[in-house]
Amino acid sequence: MILFDSHCHIDDKSYDKDLDEVLGRADREGVKALMVVGIDLETTQKAIAIARGRNHIITSTGIHPHDASHCSPGLLDELTGLARDNDCVRAWGETGLDFNRMYSPQKDQETCFSAQIGIAADLGLPLIFHERDSRGRFYEILKSEGNGNGVVHCFSGTKEELFNYLDLGYSIGITGILTIQKRGAELREMAPLIPEDRILIETDAPYLTPAPIKNKVRRNEPAFVKSVLLRLAEIRNTDPERLSEIIFENTQKLYGTDFTV
């Protein structure tokens, strides 16, 4: 089995003490590549530091919608510079809209999101989107400003939203929510509807630990992306080995990597 954790935050301080062990466990489970996602300046810098000397790790940079009120042209320039200067930076994001917790005002979120769509296009990078409860605004902005190059990470929308994103050309990121009994029920209904070449899998570690592991360990880690793959194969009634290869290649294509394993 060959796995690509397309979205994790192993820069989180909860890994400071045992990152090498975490990466070792991932490797033994078949996780041969991973994307460490930046959500602001500090996490971007830490992700780049983690990727240094570890060829199977790539990173992204961006400003999370929660942080949009701190978005400024100066900060965006700084992140753009990091993306240009570091070969490990292969995507832009997380960016998007989150009206669930509203840590930043809607207006700031939308301005910051639009600006980042433009920057990613200039840099030729795919986007990593975070969307929650945006009441259609996310789709409206994507439809008018996006270029179809990106992934809606941790997809948790409706069937209509799913088809809208697919129609615009985007890929869909599936997390361990798929494995969770109640919370994952809707996602399990939609998962078979996604074309095979548009699926990515992710942990979003340290968050969203899959079931039943979550009853034993609280912190998620890249090795656990295997449970997402296995559950997905089961739901789609397909061979896990084959599905893992397809998803690995989907992820390589999106992030422009060429890992040979």
- Say what angle helices 106-123 and 137-145 make with each other, to 10 degrees: 30
**Total number of residues that touch Zn ion (CB under 5 A):** 3
Cα-based distances in Å from 145 to 90, 157, 215: 20, 20, 42
When asked if residue 130 is in the footprint of Zn ion (CB under 5 A), the reply is yes
Decide whether 91 or 233 has the Cβ nearer to Zn ion.
91
Report the nearest approach of Zn ion to the CB of residue 222 (Å): 13
Residue 231 CA neighbour count, 13 Å, CB half: 24
Q: Which of residues 154-193 bind Zn ion (CB under 5 A)?
A: none
The vertex-93 CA angle with 49 and 10, nearest 5°, equals 40
Report the nearest approach of Zn ion to the CB of residue 65 (Å): 9
Decide whether 129 or 248 has the Cβ nearer to Zn ion.
129
Query: Contact region for Zn ion (CB under 5 A) — 168-176, 204-212, 244-252, 253-261?
Result: 204-212
Query: Contact region for Zn ion (CB under 5 A) — 104-112, 200-208, 209-217, 246-254?
Result: 200-208
Query: Contact region for Zn ion (CB under 5 A) — 14-22, 70-78, 88-96, 139-147?
Result: 88-96
Counted residue by residue, the chain has a size of 261
Decide whether 94 or 221 has the Cβ nearer to Zn ion.
94
C-alpha span between 191 and 178 (Å, rounded): 8
Name the β-bridge partners of 3.
Answer: 31
Report the nearest approach of Zn ion to the CB of residue 207 (Å): 7
C-alpha span between 90 and 152 (Å, rounded): 16
The amino acid at 102: M
When CB distances to Zn ion are compared, the closest residue is: 130
C-alpha span between 143 and 159 (Å, rounded): 17
Decide whether 9 or 226 has the Cβ nearer to Zn ion.
9
Query: Contact region for Zn ion (CB under 5 A) — 42-50, 93-101, 106-114, 167-175?
Result: 93-101
Report the nearest approach of Zn ion to the CB of residue 153 (Å): 6
- What CA dihedral angle connects 181, 186, 146 and 99, to 10 degrees? -70
Task: Give the footprint of Zn ion on this chain (CB under 5 A).
Answer: 94, 130, 204
